[in-house]
A and B are shown apart, each in its own frame.
Chain A
Amino acid sequence: MTIAATSPVATVPRRQLPPGRYRLTDLMRSEWTKLRTVRSTMWTLGIMVVVGIGVSALATAETRAHWSTMPPPTRLGFNPVSTSLTPLFFAQLAIGVLGVLVMSAEYGTGTARATFAAAPRRVQVLLAKTAVFGVVALVVSEVTAFLSFFVGQAMLTAPARHATLATPGALRAVVGMGLYLCVISLLALGLGTILRHTAAGISVFVGVLLVLPLIARALPNSIYNSVLRFLPAQIGIVIITNSSRAHSFSVWVGFSVLCCYAVAALVIGGALLVSRDV
Chain B
Amino acid sequence: MIEARGLTKRYGDKLAVDGLTFDVRPGVVTGFLGPNGAGKSTTMRMVMGLDAPSAGGVTVNGRHYHDLPWPLHEVGALLEAKAIHPGRSARAHLQMLAQANRVPGRRVDELLELVGLTSVAGRRAGKFSLGMGQRLGIAAALLGDPDVLLFDEPVNGLDPDGIRWVRNLLKGLAHEGRTVFVSSHLMSEMALTADEVIIIGRGKLIAQRPVGDLLDQSALGFVRVRSPQMDRLVAALDAAGASVTVEDDGSASVRAMGAAAIGDLAADVHAVLHELSPQSASLEEAYMELTEDSIEYHGGQPVGAPAGGIR
Nearest-neighbor residue (CB-CB) of A10 within chain B: B177
Q: Which of B47-55, B229-237, B252-260, B275-283 binds A?
A: B47-55
Q: How far is the CA of A177 from the CA of B300 in the complex (A)?
A: 67
Specify which of B49, B65, B177 is in contact with A12 (CB 8 Å cutoff): B177
Q: Contact: A111 with B50, CB < 8 Å?
A: no
Report if A21-B69 is in contact (Cβ < 8 Å); known contacts: A110-B80, A117-B50, A277-B52: yes
Nearest-neighbor residue (CB-CB) of A19 within chain B: B69
Q: Contact: A113 with B101, CB < 8 Å?
A: no
Q: Contact: A11 with B27, CB < 8 Å?
A: yes
Chain A 186-201, CB-CB to B under 8 Å as 1, else 0, gives: 0000000000000000
A181 to chain B, nearest CB (A): 24
Q: Contact: B96 with A18, CB < 8 Å?
A: no
Interface size on B, residues (CB 8 A): 51
Chain A 96-107, CB-CB to B under 8 Å as 1, else 0, gives: 000000000100
Q: A222 on the interface (CB 8 Å rule)?
A: no
- Give every chain A residue within 8 A of B74 (Cβ-Cβ): 17
Q: Contact: A4 with B85, CB < 8 Å?
A: no
Chain B 79-113, CB-CB to A under 8 Å as 1, else 0, gives: 11011111111001101110111100000000000
Nearest-neighbor residue (CB-CB) of A110 within chain B: B83
Chain B contact residues, majority secondary structure: loop
Q: B62 on the interface (CB 8 Å rule)?
A: yes
Report if A120-B71 is in contact (Cβ < 8 Å); known contacts: A6-B25, A109-B86: yes
Q: How far is the CA of A1 from the CA of B95 in the complex (A)?
A: 35
Report if A114-B83 is in contact (Cβ < 8 Å); known contacts: A10-B176, A18-B70: yes
Chain A 58-83, CB-CB to B under 8 Å as 1, else 0, gives: 00000000000000000000000000
Q: Contact: A11 with B70, CB < 8 Å?
A: no
B84 to chain A, nearest CB (A): 7
Q: Contact: A15 with B62, CB < 8 Å?
A: no
Q: Contact: B84 with A30, CB < 8 Å?
A: no
Specify which of A33, A40, A117, A121 is in contact with B48 (CB 8 Å cutoff): A117
Q: B284 on the interface (CB 8 Å rule)?
A: no
Report if A117-B71 is in contact (Cβ < 8 Å); known contacts: A38-B88, A109-B84: yes
Q: Contact: A15 with B26, CB < 8 Å?
A: no
Q: How far is the CA of A20 from the CA of B70 in the complex (A)?
A: 8
Q: How far is the CA of A7 from the CA of B65 in the complex (A)?
A: 24
- A→B interface (CB under 8 Å): 1-2, 4, 6-12, 15, 17-18, 20-22, 26-27, 29-31, 33-34, 37-40, 105, 109-111, 113-121, 277-278
Q: Can you list 24 contacts pairing A with B, beta carbon distance less than 8 Å?
A: A11-B27, A17-B70, A17-B74, A18-B70, A22-B69, A22-B101, A27-B100, A29-B100, A30-B96, A31-B96, A33-B96, A37-B92, A109-B85, A110-B80, A111-B93, A113-B79, A114-B93, A117-B75, A117-B79, A119-B100, A120-B49, A120-B65, A120-B71, A278-B51
Contacts A33-B96, A37-B96 aside, 6 further interface pairs with beta carbons under 8 A come to A22-B100, A30-B100, A38-B85, A111-B83, A113-B80, A277-B51
